[in-house]
Amino acid sequence: MTITRTGADLAPGYVFMTPWPTDNEIHQSGGFIMTVDGDMIYALPINGMHDFRVQEYNESSYLTYWNGLNAPFPQVGKGYGQVTFADTSYSNFSVRPDLGINTLQQDNPQWTGGEVDIHEAEITDGYFAEIDIATNEVLYEWRALDHIDQIPLNSSRQPLISIIGNGTKANPWDWIHMNAVQLLSLSGKDYYLVDARHTFSVFLVDPTDGRLVWNFDGETGGDFGPVPERGQFRWQHDTRAFNVTEDGLELRLFDNHNAELFNGTDQSKAVIFHLQTPPNKGISPQLIKRIDHGSYGEPYYADSMGSYNLLPNGNEIVGWGQVATSSEYGPDGDLRWEASFGTPGLVFSYRFYKNEWHATPAAWDPSLVVEEGKAYVSWNGATDIEAWKVYTGISENSLQCAGVARKKGFETFFTVPANASYMQVGAIQGGEEVRRTSIVQA
């Protein structure tokens, strides 16, 4: 990672990322927890892993992530998998309900436009489900094709023929491409906020009948007034609502503003809107904040992926998706930290997060390796190790404490003490030794 810092205050916590190559750009993909200085805390080498972060469940902190089979090109943005929860000892369980579906392709007799006859075209539906984590029970499910009277197929801005689909059964048309869903409570009732990338829209769903309460279109405003020019969004990701009241809400999202066939004219950005509800076409959404990289240097044009999150100290972190970069900004939008981890377009992280995390692995011990008179010790995933207590002896049964080595980075190394034939190292946490490595020959 190449890291740039300005010296201004950063939010506490670690960076969570899932680097994934489109070529041989990196040698290991999976989930990684890193310090802001680029030291590794935890590596979880699982292929097809995304959305790696900390979430709360039953009043406890868990690492969560999606992993599974990612569809190969050209069916990008699709996959079949599960969500895994790992507690602070890295003991885990997975949520993978039987939804009764393998593919969401359906015949499309409604759409008759385009450059070719597509009466028999195949399309990919938009679908989400709310799952009971404890039981895997499906509590609610929704399909976009059940509501094409409110979301017409011709509202899609995704061309029928493109590098990610052509309307055939092998490569169906991805007309809506939902990439974020959030459960909201309004006036004591639950609703779902849905991000639909290929229609440039964010809409609110009433679960009572599945109907749209309102639609916020990134170009036209939809059910709201015209979108301010500097806030117009296209091909967006990671929409979330916050500060929700009876009269309105604030909405943050990552605006790609670019796609595979529409790239390089308008830079990607992160934006926050205030929406007055219920919507009124005479009242425009208020653009509260806009963050773009062009204000600090080279503009970023992210065809795909991306994230935008608010941090507890008022800072904000933007993941630039396909650009393979993440940036932390201060409350006033000033760039304070940036990390790049590969060649844009050849490696990416679907989203970036910054979370506080404290964990001590239960299923594996610290690792000790001795080579050419040097000892190397690490403990993958242990966040709170202060130092290493070093034991040496002429036999495995005669080990005595030879000193303490201060922890430095992911892997601490030190010179093997003289006359040591065998070694063992103990991890010190909170002033106490909590676990030892295996005994190794020195």
Assigned domain for 362 exists: no
The yes-or-no verdict on residue 181 having pLDDT over 70 is: yes
pLDDT at res. 99: 72
Within a domain: 328: yes
What are the tens digits of pLDDT across the range 225-252?
Answer: 999 999 999 999 999 999 999 999 999 9
The answer to whether residue 143 is domain-embedded is: yes
pLDDT in tens, 322-343: 999 999 999 999 999 999 998 8
Q: Which residues form the domain of 70? A: 2-355
Summarised one tens digit per residue, pLDDT across range 389-437 is 999 999 999 999 999 999 999 999 999 998 899 999 999 999 999 999 9
In a domain, 14, yes or no: yes
| 39 and 179 part of one domain | yes
Distances, alpha carbon 149 to alpha carbons 106, 211, 235, in Å: 17, 10, 22
What is the domain count for the chain? 2
Average pLDDT over residues 53-73: 89
pLDDT in tens, 100-117: 654 433 444 343 344 444
How buried is residue 321: exposed, middle or buried, by Cβ count under 10 Å (0-12/13-18/19+)? buried
Token pair of 101, please? 């579906």
Q: What is the CATH number of the domain that holds 145?
A: 2.130.10
Residues 347 and 392 reside in one and the same domain: no
Q: Which of 355, 389, 417 is at the close of a domain?
A: 355
- Asked whether residue 345 falls in the same domain as residue 390, the answer is no
Assess contact for 272 and 252: CB atoms under 8 A: yes
Residues 172 and 35 reside in one and the same domain: yes
Residue 335 CA to residue 10 CA, distance in Å, equals: 10
**14-18, 24-28, 119-123, 193-197: which has the minimum mean pLDDT?**
24-28
In this structure, what CATH number is given to the domain that contains residue 424?
Answer: 2.60.40.10
Rounded to an integer, what distance in angstroms lies between the CA atom of residue 238 and that of residue 261? 21
Question: Is 435 domain-assigned?
Answer: yes
Q: Are residues 342 and 423 in the same domain?
A: no
The 8-class DSSP code of residue 112 comes to -
Residues 269 and 342 in one domain: yes
Q: 23 falls in which pLDDT band (50, 70, 90)? A: low
Domain-located, residue 360: no
Judgement on whether residues 100 and 249 belong to the same structural domain of the protein: yes
Nearest to 20 by CA among 42, 50, 43, 44: 50
3-state secondary structure of 87: coil
C-alpha closest to that of 322 among 259, 252, 230: 259
19: tokens are: 């680097």
Do residues 47 and 186 share a domain?
Answer: yes
CB contact set of 398 (below 8 Å; sequence gap of 6+): 422
Q: Would you give the DSSP letter of residue 229? A: G
Return all residues near 344 (Cβ < 8 A) that are at least 6 apart.
Answer: 322, 323, 324, 325
Burial class (CB in 10 A: 0-12, 13-18, 19+), 376: middle
> Residue 120: its pLDDT value, please?
60
Same domain, 339 and 388: no
Do residues 296 and 391 share a domain? no
70 has pLDDT over 90: no
Whole-structure pTM value? 0.93
Q: Among 297, 320, 355, identify where a domain stops.
A: 355
The residue from 293, 324, 355 where one domain ends is 355
Q: Outline where DSSP puts E strands in 114-259.
A: 122-124, 127-131, 138-143, 178-186, 189-196, 201-205, 212-217, 237-242, 248-255
Pair (287, 404) in one structural domain: no
Give how far Cα 119 sits from Cα of 61, 109, 122, 146, 165, Å: 49, 5, 9, 18, 16
3-state SS assignment for residue 154? helix
The answer to whether residues 310 and 288 belong to one domain is yes
